[in-house]
Amino acid sequence: MDNMTPELRSRQMSLVRSKDTKPEWTVRRLVYGMGYRYRLHRKDLPGKPDLVFGPRRKVIFVHGCFWHGHKCQLGRMPKSHLDYWQDKIARNRSRDTEHLRQLRALGWSALVLWECQLKNDHAVSIKIMRFLGEYDAQK
């Protein structure tokens, strides 16, 4: 059972950000520190990707594990209002899949980074360098 009134719950949910989240800032700082430059949230691309590397035709999405239904500890379902949350997360996942399909059809490549992966900066850096095509395993 939800222990908040509907008004308080509504106010609480209105504070949840869709962009400029902590995980997104973590990736931005890492990518910028690696020397890459990017644009943010291009509205003309499906899904308004978090980071856009225009000349490379590559984008990065930074997904929150809960909101996008990742199968990890951070992505677990709440115990109350289960029907609502299952439907909501399923819609989010379906929309994510459709956006990735549309981007591929437009000739763009996409990388999805999950919130739970961001604990290891080195691993994320390597993943980003491989995605952007500048990783040499010899280094």
Q: Is residue 138 a part of any domain in this protein? A: no
Q: Is residue 15 a part of any domain in this protein? A: no
Over residues 36-58, the pLDDT tens digits come to: 999 999 999 999 999 999 999 99
Over residues 69-115, the pLDDT tens digits come to: 999 988 888 888 889 889 999 999 999 999 999 999 999 999 999 99
Confidence of residue 13 (pLDDT cuts 50, 70, 90): low
For residue 123, the Cα-to-chain-centroid distance in whole angstroms is: 17
Q: Is residue 14 a part of any domain in this protein? A: no
What is the domain extent for residue 86? 23-132
pTM of the model: 0.84
Q: Is residue 61 a part of any domain in this protein? A: yes
Domain count, the chain: 1
Q: Is residue 52 a part of any domain in this protein? A: yes
124, with CB counted inside 10 A (0-12, 13-18, 19+), is middle
**CATH number where 62 lies:** 3.40.960.10
Q: Are 50 and 60 a contacting pair, CB within 8 Å?
A: yes
Q: Is residue 104 a part of any domain in this protein? A: yes
Q: Is residue 88 a part of any domain in this protein? A: yes
Q: Is residue 1 a part of any domain in this protein? A: no
Over residues 54-63, the pLDDT tens digits come to: 999 999 999 9
